[in-house]
Amino acid sequence: MEMQYQRDSWSTPCYFASASAGGGSGVIMVTKTTAVRDPVERIERLAAESAVVIFSLSTCCMCHAVKRLFCSMGVNPTVHELDEDPIGKDMEMALSRLLGRGSPSSVPVVFIGGKLVGAMDRVMASHINGSLVPLLKAAGALWL
């Protein structure tokens, strides 16, 4: 099931998709994705579904900042809030391993064109050095 909501009212609207759990059956329902319980496989599938995918926690200020960065650039990322997902903790640990970090706090994690870009530090470095826009254009997320 896909939910869309507006994040901020003080600037250009930006909508995010959020994955949610199905009724009491324990089946995970995600747009365009079948139920997948393996966290790494689920991450790979979700990352491949949209041009820009952000794995986030709804209460994380750094996650909010990276979402705002993309929105300010005119990109509408697909956001998966891990704290709203039944296997979100397992996915967060899998993302931490993908990033090569020992700590479980590994969000936000950004994928562009189905490829891992990294956490906030890598996204900001790419933005500052000018390599982020070409990545977004190549993924079809930006048409300028």
Q: How far is it, in rounded angstroms, from Cα 25 to Cα 30?
A: 14
Residue 49 pLDDT exceeds 80 = yes
- pTM of the full predicted structure? 0.75
Whose tokens are 């599938």? That residue is 45
**pLDDT score recorded for residue 103:** 59
Residue 105 pLDDT exceeds 80 = no
More confident residue, 92 or 23: 92
The identity of residue 83, as a single letter, is D
- Mean per-residue pLDDT for 67-81? 95
- Mean per-residue pLDDT for 97-108? 78
> In the numeric block, which tokens belong to residue 5?
């909501």
**pLDDT score recorded for residue 8:** 29
- Mean per-residue pLDDT for 59-79? 95
More confident residue, 4 or 73: 73
CB atoms within 10 A of CB 17: 22
Q: How far is it, in rounded angstroms, from Cα 82 to Cα 76?
A: 18
Residue 121 pLDDT exceeds 50 = yes
**pLDDT score recorded for residue 22:** 42
3-class secondary-structure state, position 37? coil
Helix (H) or strand (E) holding 132: helix 132-139
Q: Tell how far CA 144 is from the center of its chain.
A: 22
What does the mean pLDDT of the chain come to?
79
3-class secondary-structure state, position 71? helix
pLDDT of 15-40, one tens digit each? 444 444 444 333 333 444 445 678 99
DSSP bridge partners of 81: 56
